[in-house]
Copies of this chain bind each other. A is one copy, B any other.
Amino acid sequence: MTTRSSTDANRVIPEATVARLPVYLRALTALADSGIRTCSSEDLAIAAGVNSAKLRKDLSHLGSYGTRGVGYDVDYLRYQIAREIGVTQDWPVVIVGIGNLGHALANYSGFRSRGFRVVALLDADPQLIGQTVAGVAVRAFDELEAIVQEHDVAIGVIATPAVAAQSVADRMVAIGITSILNFAPAVVAVPDGVDVRKVDLSIELQILAYHEQRKANGADAAAAAAAAVTVDGGAA
């Protein structure tokens, strides 16, 4: 028996949908900022860069927050999505590795405005410790445990060089962090129950390069393919 109430907290939201909810949230905020009170799935889909069928299917996993014949109330839907993904609450975050990228992350205003509060910046380099970045003092990596306990940190960001990433992750996990955002170009292994997401700048460029290469070969490849078909076809 798996009968469930409509507000069941265990209702499963597909991972692909979860990944798009923040996009919808941002699009709704943009609509609200331009004074729009109500929108159709088509309007919102355009603002979010997806098609409307996908948008409606995604929203249907959260509940039924629209009005047939009318559309969605922008503020109401925005609140529902924010609540669903947890950005109505405050998330203390630590950033480990204050190089160029760590600096940029510490200064990134988009975190703060979405409920993420950088409570500490940590680095292993004694030269950096004590410096202030984005109004926060850089502290020794050793202080991780104390900071995590003091602020009840659940999310850690790794912006170290690749070689340090696994040991930083291990330490984070040992101390009780259960979500990690990894910017280091390295695979980090973690136990079950800990989530890791990876952002890899050069991988993104490599994916673009692959498609770019195919486009560049397009004319040639089309000709080659035609030739191949002719030859193969003749042989078959």
- A interface vs B, CB < 8 Å? 1-5, 8-10, 18-19, 21-23, 25-27, 47-49, 84-87, 89, 91, 93, 99-101, 103-105, 107-108, 110-111, 114-116, 154-155, 157, 178-181, 185-187, 189, 193, 195, 197, 199-217, 220-222, 224-225, 228-229, 232-233, 235-236
Contacts and interface: CB of A to CB of B under 8 A. Distances in A.
Contact of A229 (B1, B23, B100, B178): B1
B207 A22 contact: yes
Interface centre among A23, A115, A187 (most CB of B within 10 A): A187
A205 B217 CA distance: 37
A203 B210 CA distance: 25
A221 B4 CA distance: 12
9 contacts: A3-B236, A10-B222, A19-B207, A48-B187, A87-B206, A116-B209, A179-B208, A180-B208, A195-B212
B221 A85 contact: no
A178 B215 contact: yes
Given A187-B49, A215-B193, A9 B221 contact: yes
A125 to B, nearest CB: 16
Contacts of A220: 9
Contacts of A27: 187
A27 B122 CA distance: 27
Contact of A212 (B86, B199, B225, B235): B86
A25 to B, nearest CB: 8
Given A49-B189, A86-B213, 10 more contacts: A9-B220, A10-B221, A26-B186, A85-B206, A86-B210, A87-B209, A100-B103, A104-B104, A108-B201, A157-B205
Contact of A105 (B201, B228, B235): B201
B224 A114 contact: no
